[in-house]
Chain A
Amino acid sequence: MTRPHLVTGARLQYDEVREEHVLLVPEGAVRLNPTAAAVLELCDGERSLDEIVDTLSARYEGSDLREDVEGLVDGLTQKGLVVDAAA
């Protein structure tokens, strides 16, 4: 995975009713914790995985988020919800 982006038709949204972030996909939704939502907001097909990790690590005061980011992106790639813009 070099430049992740959301698959066609996937939409990030904040659900005011349940007070949580969701990734809406055809006929489904994935509930997201705030970190996951922050990662997916950066999956724009332009940033590399390294850039996403750096941006978030800086935002969260230097904590290393590489494992979290990679785990999330891998999981959603397996499900076909994140794809590689470079592929």
Chain B
Amino acid sequence: MRQPRPFTLIAELSYQCPLHCPYCSNPLDIGAEKYRRELETEHWIRTFREARALGVLQLALSGGEPMLRRDLVELCEGSRDAGLYSSLITAGTLFTRERAEALKLAGLDHVQISIQSPNAEENDRIAGNRSFEKKIAAARFAKELDFPLTINCVLHRQNLDRIAELLDLALDLGAQRLELANTQYYGWAVPNQEALMPSWEQLRRAEEAVQHFRERVGPKVDVLWVLPDFYEELPKPCMGGWARTAMVVAPNGDVLPCQAASTIPGLEFANVREHPLEWIWSESDAFARFRGTDWMQEPCRTCPLGRQEMDFGGCRCQALRLTGDAAATDPVCRFSPHHDRVVSIRESAQTDEFVYRTIKRPVRI
């Protein structure tokens, strides 16, 4: 099989973050010793160059909060020199006018600012810190400096009913894109599942609001809306398929096929301090393990819909979490013998209490 070429590199520059969002995609053990030793500037810049040579075009400068890195300007210059298109994935609270100008000069291409809710009080409750006003100011700085602006909001039971307000806020802020990201249940969303899982009725109303907005506003604001996994009958190609389009570099230099891959026991992650990115992509254990279709079990192996190359068996981390086997069919699939577990989670008991993200103590579940 011809090796696929990666398109996106997600650079998790640091797991430090001023926010405490209960659905954070970072691992639950962000406080662990192994993440303390963050990569140096030159490691990242070399990684960017190697990524471009492999075929990567899009670089996400992510975290944690990437703006906590003091060398962010140098990293943006490194990205530009490598020929990558760079996106800053930020909570916005540190995106001052002065720093925004420096990043613009350094060649940063695009700014994505997260908002937890269009309502200030609710935003601050979900983020676990007072941040709404700073986010709005950040969005305005981004526009003043002519950055293309994406507003990202992770959606769940606590904020889905405000979707019309959120759409209007994005329009008011001049966002070119609004990413409505329904919560995916890995990382910190797992212990918060009961507080986050929406009802079908909420999703239906939200989808309707998105439809109305698109008709009213047209292509000026590109609204990305995808129905959450748990309400589907067929799985999505998680990460575009394992080791097919994207790679994630953790703050310590470990390279993963997805943000949650460290939850899969027995996978070995190679580190950019020790190996060239090209070798990691094409040869390393973690990338080779579930690439393509040879690893598949039933019912994927003889998929009655012939979807092996469409959904690549869905999400490995979800399969592991719900069936105990990372090589099983994603139970979102209606052909999975474990599909009833997805159905029962939709209907599970609900709470409004969050387990907030923290780097201070490792959380075990």
A17 touches B109 (CB 8 A): no
- Chain B residue with Cβ nearest A24: B85
Which residues 51-87 of A have a CB within 8 angstroms of B?
77-80
- The segment from B26-34, B50-58, B120-128, B279-287 found at the interface with A is B50-58
Q: Among the listed B5, B57, B87, B147, which residue makes an inter-chain contact with A29, where contact means beta carbons less than 8 Å apart?
A: B57
Interface bits A28-67 vs B (CB < 8 Å: 1, else 0): 1100000000000000000000000000000000000000
Interface bits A1-39 vs B (CB < 8 Å: 1, else 0): 000000111110101011000101111110000000000
Least Cβ distance of A70 to chain B in Å? 17
Q: How far is the CA of A62 from the CA of B177 in the complex (A)?
A: 39
Q: How far is the CA of A63 from the CA of B177 in the complex (A)?
A: 38
Least Cβ distance of B114 to chain A in Å? 14
Q: Among the listed A18, A28, A78, which residue makes an inter-chain contact with B58, where contact means beta carbons less than 8 Å apart?
A: A28
In the complex, chain A residues whose CB is within 8 Å of the CB of B109:
9, 11, 24, 26
Q: How far is the CA of A13 from the CA of B56 in the complex (A)?
A: 13
B57 touches A24 (CB 8 A): yes
- Chain A residue with Cβ nearest B7: A29
Cβ-based interface call for B148 (8 A):
yes
Q: How far is the CA of A16 from the CA of B221 in the complex (A)?
A: 31
Q: How far is the CA of A45 from the CA of B176 in the complex (A)?
A: 18
Which residues 214-252 of B have a CB within 8 angstroms of A?
219-222
Q: Could you say which of B147, B148, B220 has the most chain A C-beta atoms within 10 Å of its C-beta?
A: B148
Cβ-based interface call for B150 (8 A):
yes
User: Number of contact residues on B: which range applies?
Assistant: 20 to 34
A15 touches B57 (CB 8 A): yes
Least Cβ distance of B150 to chain A in Å? 6
Q: How far is the CA of A27 from the CA of B8 in the complex (A)?
A: 8
A80 touches B220 (CB 8 A): yes
B110 touches A9 (CB 8 A): yes
B148 touches A7 (CB 8 A): yes
Cβ-based interface call for B93 (8 A):
no
Q: Could you say which of B147, B176, B220 has the most chain A C-beta atoms within 10 Å of its C-beta?
A: B176
Cβ-based interface call for B131 (8 A):
no
Least Cβ distance of A4 to chain B in Å? 14
Q: How far is the CA of A70 from the CA of B276 in the complex (A)?
A: 45
Least Cβ distance of B167 to chain A in Å? 16
A13 touches B83 (CB 8 A): yes
In the complex, chain B residues whose CB is within 8 Å of the CB of A77:
219
In the complex, chain B residues whose CB is within 8 Å of the CB of A8:
146-148, 176
Q: How far is the CA of A29 from the CA of B57 in the complex (A)?
A: 8
In the complex, chain B residues whose CB is within 8 Å of the CB of A28:
58
In the complex, chain A residues whose CB is within 8 Å of the CB of B259:
none
Question: If the complex has contacts A9-B147, A27-B60, are A17 and B5 also in contact, measured as CB distance less than 8 A?
Answer: yes
A-B contact pairs, 26 of them (CB 8 A): A7-B176, A8-B176, A9-B109, A9-B176, A11-B109, A17-B5, A17-B53, A18-B5, A22-B57, A24-B57, A24-B58, A26-B85, A26-B87, A26-B148, A27-B8, A27-B58, A27-B60, A27-B87, A27-B177, A29-B58, A29-B85, A77-B219, A78-B219, A79-B219, A80-B220, A80-B221
